[in-house]
Amino acid sequence: MPYHHLALAAKDMAAIHHFYEAIMGFELVKVEIAPVMGGGWGKHFFYRMDGDDSRFIAFWELHDVPGQDAHQHDLNKAAGTPQGTNHYSFAVASSEELDAKRAHWQAHGLDVLEIDHNWCHSIYTRDPNGNMVEYCLTTGTFTPEDRERALAALEETTMHPSPPPASVKHWAREGA
C-alpha cells in the first residue's frame, strides 16, 4: 500500500515553496488552515507529485505554537542521528530522467551527491530545511538470497558490510 502524503514542518515556507514547486516540479494544490494540537495554528500546504492526486508531500507553516523558536526542522539534527540517515526519496523511471534531475538541481545552484548502490542509483541534495532529498532509480532485481540476507541482518549485532557502492560522485552546483 503506497503512502498518501508525508507531512513536515517548514522552517521557511517561502523557501520550501520555491524548492518543491520550482525545483522539484511538484504542484501546490491545497492548503488546510486550522488550530494545531498544543496551541497555535498552522497552514498545511499540499504539493501534488507528478500530477497524481493520491501522492503528496505536505508542509506545515506554524504560527503561535509554544516553543516554536526552538523547533529543529532538519530531521537528523532533531533526532540526533547521523546526517542523511532520515531522508526522503522520490522515484524516477529511467537513467535519463535521473541524469536530467541531477542537471536540473545543479542548474538551480544545488550540490548533488550521486551513488550507484549496486541495486539502485541515487542522487541526493538538501532542501531548505536541511533535509536530504533523493531521486532513486531501481536498477536491480531482488533474489531469494537478498531476502535471506535481510532476514539474517535482523538478528546480527556486529557489522557484516554490504559490497561498497559501484560509484560515488560529487557534482558541484553550476558556477561553483
Q: Is 76 left (phi over 0), alpha (psi -120 to 50) or beta?
A: alpha
Stated length of the chain? 176
- Quick one: cell of 141? 532485481
Residue closest to 136 by CA, chosen among 99, 106, 164, 98: 98
| pLDDT single digits (tens) 74-93 | 999 999 999 999 999 999 99
CATH code, domain carrying 60: 3.10.180.10
Cβ pair 12, 59 in contact under 8 A: no
Cβ pair 137, 95 in contact under 8 A: yes
Are 67 and 86 in a shared domain?
no
CATH code, domain carrying 166: 3.30.720.110
| pLDDT single digits (tens) 134-157 | 999 999 999 999 999 999 999 999
Mean pLDDT of 110-114: 97
